[in-house]
Structure 1
């Protein structure tokens, strides 16, 4: 835990050094790389998230998914768990939660992944850092750890989990505990890593 806490402080400090325009340019490259992947093209559903100022900006991905006719849902924190709600439009009225994160209003329609097992899903996964084995370092609350465990344990859910980050967030090794699960793909502006050997990412 101490190792993770120290690493979180280090990564957060590094991210604060980025000028907004630098992070915007990097976000655009990550967005383009993801949208060029088969994982993006094949997905009928995008489970996205509203990015924080120090994260890869997800706005363009949410807009592109809506324009492409994909079902888009974003999470709301409910009793220490993630509940996904359908995004009706990109200019929908968000609320700000206790962590300062934009999230759906409670009256947005609920989206339950297990009720859509016949649809291929792409799950955008935030993280402070990732490694080349696709392990992620979250912010320490465990929301995505629990959600990833839920969808991974339900074999009927067709979900590809993707960590998006900038190159500076790629580290040699993320300290992993027993409950930590890797994502399927990690996409940075110049690199893509897959935990599934020989997976065709771009076709």
Structure 2
């Protein structure tokens, strides 16, 4: 599903109302995914992964950022293996716990993931003090795979409330390579009619999920 030409995000206006609407939708999206069996999540992960690997934007990219998935997200480990098998450069998120800052740092191999420390979110990421290549200090990125709790047909994304990816996409605009193409990976249960947004929320280019 590609984002259509949606109107600009509305003015924040009543931020309290927007915040409340997002909170309600986050709970609903979490409830929907929690109802899925492990087998169903694996099945949809395989279907979405196949769609991504066949996608021209994926096939033609060289520098790609991939999120390390949590249990309630499309699993990305096999995608990362495919990235390395194709000789692409893979970057993964590194969050700074004391701020809402995120970098995309270069991964040396798919096997390296299993040796990374666990965060409080129970996902692996490189140590905050590690000296690793950051995508925006070198060649930029061609493609970013986006996580999220919910998505709509306009390319609006419901994150977990920290703004990591919105801020990072804003930083990408300062790079000579410009804004990378963005593809979200989702369970079909995460697609909703409308995601409430503020003027700081960034639209994504495309959402991949299993379609009948």
TM-score, scaled relative to structure 1: 0.87
Q: Tell me by how many angstroms 1:46 deviates.
A: 1.3
| Deviation string, structure 1 residues 133-168 (Cα, Å, up to 9, x no partner) | 111000111111111222145453351111110111
**Does the alignment pair 1:113 with 2:136?**
yes
| Deviation string, structure 1 residues 73-103 (Cα, Å, up to 9, x no partner) | 1011123211122111222111111222211
Task: Provide the secondary structure at the position in 2 that maps to 1:96.
Answer: coil
User: CA, structure 1 residues 159+114, in 2 after alignment: closer, same or farther (shift >3 Å)?
Assistant: farther
User: CA, structure 1 residues 34+108, in 2 after alignment: closer, same or farther (shift >3 Å)?
Assistant: farther
| CA distance in 2: counterparts of 1:3 and 1:59, whole angstroms | 32
Aligned to 2:49: 31
| CA distance in 2: counterparts of 1:108 and 1:47, whole angstroms | 18
8 Å CA contact retained: 2:47, 2:210: yes
| Deviation string, structure 1 residues 32-78 (Cα, Å, up to 9, x no partner) | 00111111011001101110001000111100001100000101112
Gaps of 5+ in 2: 1-18
Aligned to 1:140: 161
8 Å CA contact retained: 2:157, 2:204: yes
User: CA, structure 1 residues 158+14, in 2 after alignment: closer, same or farther (shift >3 Å)?
Assistant: closer
Task: Provide the secondary structure at the position in 1 that maps to 2:83.
Answer: helix
Gaps of 5+ in 1: 192-203
| CA distance in 1: counterparts of 2:179 and 2:70, whole angstroms | 27
Q: 1:96 aligns with which of 118, 121, 126?
A: 118
User: CA, structure 1 residues 190+114, in 2 after alignment: closer, same or farther (shift >3 Å)?
Assistant: farther
TM-score, scaled relative to structure 2: 0.84
8 Å CA contact retained: 1:45, 1:72: yes
Greater fraction of residues in strand:
1
| Deviation string, structure 1 residues 178-198 (Cα, Å, up to 9, x no partner) | 10110111111228xxxxxxx
Aligned to 1:196: none
8 Å CA contact retained: 2:91, 2:135: no
Q: Tell me by how many angstroms 1:114 deviates.
A: 4.9
| CA distance in 1: counterparts of 2:53 and 2:82, whole angstroms | 9
8 Å CA contact retained: 2:103, 2:168: no
Instruction: Between the two structures, name the one with larger relative contact order (CA 8 Å, sep ≥ 6).
Output: 2
Q: Which runs of 4+ in 1 moved over 4 A?
A: none
| CA distance in 1: counterparts of 2:83 and 2:183, whole angstroms | 15
Task: Provide the secondary structure at the position in 2 that maps to 1:103.
Answer: coil
8 Å CA contact retained: 2:149, 2:190: yes
| CA distance in 1: counterparts of 2:147 and 2:179, whole angstroms | 19
8 Å CA contact retained: 2:149, 2:159: yes
